[in-house]
Structures are given as C-alpha cells and as structure tokens.
Amino acid sequence: MPLIIKDEYPETLFREDGKRLDGRDNNELRPIKMEVGIIKNADGSAYLEWGNNKIFAAVYGPREVHPHHLAKPDKGILRVFYRMATFSVFDRKRPAPGRREKEISMIVADCLEPVLFLELYPGTSFEVFIEVMDADGGTRCASITVAALALADAGIPMKSLVSAIAVGKIDGKKVIDLSGIEDKAGEADLPIAITWYNEEISLLQFDGDMDLNEMNEFLDLAKEFLKSIHNIQLDTLKSKYIKLQEKTSKNKKDEDKKGDK
Ligand code: UDP
C-alpha cells in the first residue's frame, strides 16, 4: 500500500479491481496473530498483531491499590492505561497521555469490567497496561481483545472473554475491520465489543453517518466476525496450556528415565 501523508487522502478507497487499498475484500479481516505470556514480569500478558497494529497488554493483580484513596471497601477496581508509543503513528505522537488515550483507557475498562468478579476482591486493584507500538486503525478494538486475553493469561477468574471489531462504511460500501486510512477518510466507523458469557454488546461507538437499518445490518455483520476473533483468542489460550502440558510430560519422562538408571 502506498505511503499516505496526512491530509493527502486518496480520492477513492477502492482499487480498480474492486478491492480495498490494502488488497482486501469488503468482508475480509486483516491478518491476526496473538500470543500470551510474553512479558515475564507481569502476572499475565498478551501480544497482538492485527494488520499493521502491534499491541502489548500486561496485567497485574489483584494487588494493593495505589493511591490508596482509590481503593473500594466492597470490591476490587479495574484500571486500564492505554498508551500509544511516540513512534506508533506517522506524525510524532506527544508522549504525554492525551484526551484520546484517557477516553480509550476508560472504554476498555468499561468493556472488561462486566466479565470480572470484582466483588470477590475488595480493597484491591487489577491493572492493565496497553502499549500500542504501531497503529493503523482499530486500536481500541484490538486493545480490548488483547487486554481480555492478558487477563485470562493472568489466571484471573472471568465470566468469558471479550472480543471487539470495527465495522464501517467507505465510499458508500459496508466493510469490516477498517484500516487507519479507511477510518479517517471513510464515512462511518462503528467499533463494537461483545462479552461472550451473555452475548451482550459492551462497546458501541459511532462516528459518521448511517440510518437505523444500516446500523442493524452492521451489527449482524460484526457478530459474524467477532466469532472468528473469539476463536483466535481461545486457540491462543489453549495452545499455551497444550505447550505446558507437553513440557510437563516431557519433564516427567526425563525424571522417570533418570530414576531407572
Ligand atoms: N492515529 C494517529 N495519530 C494519533 C491517534 C490516532 O495517526 O494521535 C491514527 C491511528 O492509526 C489510529 C487511527 O488514527 O489507529 C484511528 O484512530 P481512532 O481515534 O479512530 O482510534 P482507533 O481506530 O485506533 O481505535
């Protein structure tokens, strides 16, 4: 895809062959890769590559609340810190967290809170640190997805995972999983998250222009692809435990061999 300089958006977001600028069909996700347990100092962690987005999430908790006055006597608290690295976008991003980062931290926390049993952890906090290393549209959805995975990796009891995706409209056509340029130059962008234990929408933001019928069509479209994202999250977690199981049984065999000698 050609390098697009800020404010020099292309006239059309589709190529002559009808594909999107990055070669995708309208209903095609960008490639997604997830890993868990990659940050050794954290209680749980995950890494996500979603198209050009590269995002780490590290989870700590339950632990003492700092500052103490934030602690709640009847339940634990969830704190989320979404940050974009200075080098993660085309224009240098100011290192201090801005209004957008505070907003995204808040919506990620709102999406994740319903799946945690915070009432079981009074006086403590769970902290999720999200670091966006490379950004190309849809980082809030990718952050929700990777943060849920990191919480699960930390072994924190959860009702279910949470998955998210953005759907939207570009050049009048419905598309899923908008890239950075599609997000900026398109007509509508609708980030959606779902909590799987009750299949309820835990995030629905909307930027752009569409009618109610279109909105319903978008919700159906999103649900189909949210399932694929959920499956990748589940497979990522399962593969961690399969590897652990293999390692344990290999260690046991080695021990048995030593014992036989
Ligand atoms: N972006 C940027 N500079 C910024 C913030 C965002 O270039 O300071 C880009 C980045 O690629 C991001 C996209 O704009 O993914 C869309 O940002 P938005 O606020 O819509 O959130 P997102 O789609 O990442 O959830």
**How confident is residue 8, by pLDDT bands cut at 50, 70 and 90?**
confident
* Alpha carbon distance 174, 144 (integer Å): 23
Ligand 1 pocket residue status of 62, Cβ below 6 Å: no
Ligand 1 pocket residue status of 133, Cβ below 6 Å: no
What's the pLDDT score for residue 7?
A: 59
Residue 156: how many CA atoms within 13 Å on its side-chain side? Answer: 35
Ligand 1 pocket residue status of 180, Cβ below 6 Å: yes
- If you take atom 1 of ligand 1, which residue's CA is the nearest one? 89
Burial 14-28 (b: 16+ CB within 10 A, else e): eeeeeebbbebeeee
What's the pLDDT score for residue 10?
A: 87
In the reported structure, the alpha carbon of residue 227 is separated from the centroid of ligand 1 by a whole-number distance in angstroms of: 24
Ligand 1 pocket residue status of 183, Cβ below 6 Å: yes
Q: Do 4 and 181 form a contact (C-beta atoms < 8 A)?
A: yes
Enter the pTM of the model.
0.94
Q: Is the pLDDT of residue 29 over 70?
A: yes
Percent of the chain with pLDDT over 90: 85
In the reported structure, the alpha carbon of residue 220 is separated from the centroid of ligand 1 by a whole-number distance in angstroms of: 25
**How confident is residue 4, by pLDDT bands cut at 50, 70 and 90?**
low
Ligand 1 pocket residue status of 94, Cβ below 6 Å: no
Q: Is the pLDDT of residue 2 over 60?
A: no
- Which among 146, 195, 133, 142 has a CA at the least distance from the CA of 165? 142
Q: Which residue is listed with tokens 């990748």?
A: 232
Q: Residue 248 — left, alpha, or beta (φ > 0 → left; ψ -120 to 50 → alpha)?
A: alpha
Ligand 1 pocket residue status of 138, Cβ below 6 Å: yes
Q: Is the pLDDT of residue 1 over 70?
A: no
What's the pLDDT score for residue 91?
A: 86
The residues pairing with 130 across neighbouring beta strands, listed in sequence order, are: 57, 82
Q: Is the pLDDT of residue 258 over 90?
A: no
**How confident is residue 174, by pLDDT bands cut at 50, 70 and 90?**
very high
What's the pLDDT score for residue 115?
A: 98
CATH 3.40.50.1360 fits 32-248, yes or no: no
* Alpha carbon distance 104, 172 (integer Å): 27
What's the pLDDT score for residue 5?
A: 55
What are the boundaries of each domain within the chain?
Answer: 32-248
Instruction: Write down how long the chain is.
Output: 261
**How confident is residue 172, by pLDDT bands cut at 50, 70 and 90?**
very high
Closest ligand 1 atom to 138 CA? 23
How crowded is residue 185: how many other Cβ atoms within 10 Å of its Cβ? 17
What's the pLDDT score for residue 210?
A: 83
In the reported structure, the alpha carbon of residue 139 is separated from the centroid of ligand 1 by a whole-number distance in angstroms of: 7
Q: Is the pLDDT of residue 3 over 90?
A: no
Ligand 1 pocket residue status of 177, Cβ below 6 Å: no
In the reported structure, the alpha carbon of residue 241 is separated from the centroid of ligand 1 by a whole-number distance in angstroms of: 34
What's the pLDDT score for residue 148?
A: 98
Closest ligand 1 atom to 143 CA? 25
- If you take atom 17 of ligand 1, which residue's CA is the nearest one? 137
The per-residue pLDDT of the chain, averaged, comes to 94
Among 2-6, 72-76, 191-195, the range scoring the smallest mean pLDDT is 2-6
